[in-house]
Structure 1
Amino acid sequence: STANLSVSVSTSQVYDIAMAHVSGSNGTVTVTQETQLQLRLNVTNNGNGVDTVTFTMENQPPWAALGSDSIQIGRGQTIAIVITLSPDTAALSGRDYIFQVVATSADGSETTSPDLTAQIVAKETEGEEVETEELDEDDEGGLPGFSMFVSLLALTIVVLSRRKD
């Protein structure tokens, strides 16, 4: 006699996202006003299946933007996401802007990144040369403080006013 045995196994997907600074980075960058810099953050899927992860930022300055709002990431895969920093002159020089990225898995579970820090450096402006023009009042042969034209005009007015008398 032959016996048949049927076994059915079902597993649930495990969602497990981790975020870390990219190799060689501590998550702190120095960026000059009115320039653009890209900061990278590693996202790793430690779960047992493909996950669709959406991203938002917390405490971010207005000039920080995510390169992508969502990614699809395979099991065991690590993907670097990009945060673009474009501080304008309103970004305070010498201030550290500290913010985080929040990753939300397909099941709704959230993971917050380690702190990301943008240190702002003031934009150096090129010193404009100030042109100094020296006035030599003797060049025109007129009265001090007057040009030749103004001197002649004043003399004409004086002569005409005496003629009327």
Structure 2
Amino acid sequence: MLKQTIAGQLDLLRYLERGAVHLAAGMSIPEQTACEQEADEQWRTGSGVVYTFDFDGWSLNLHFDLEKNFLHDTIDFFGHCDLPGFADIAGPARAACAIEGATGFDLGDEQVVLLPSSVTLHFRKEEGDVQVLTKIAGALLSYGALADYYRSMLRR
């Protein structure tokens, strides 16, 4: 049920505005027990557990802490996908135009677009220097903390 709800209701433009998959899909905060039952894979990290749900062209990762509290989510892209809003944000310039107040960071091999919702979009260069959307990371830190982090990476 959780996997079907995510696939059927997720709109990427709402995700970029709201900061989390569950908010964009009109769901309640994900619970670890539901993820344990439906995830395609799971793995433990030093700070908790990550549950992965695989879809055609993308996968969703839900991160939980050691106390089973939801922390944040990420989406990985493996080429084109049919999610509503994907075509609107498929390149860094499009993503920056799609949401007012976006800030871009050129990290050399990666372009990151930070949105006011604290969501980050990650683009990598592929063949012919084409920037390809590879990841969206839901809000984990405040906008200011993320902006400071990416600015510090530029100084390296």
Bigger helix share: 2
Report which structure shows greater RCO (CA 8 Å, sep ≥6). 1
TM-score by length of 1: 0.24
Larger Rg: 1
TM-score by length of 2: 0.25
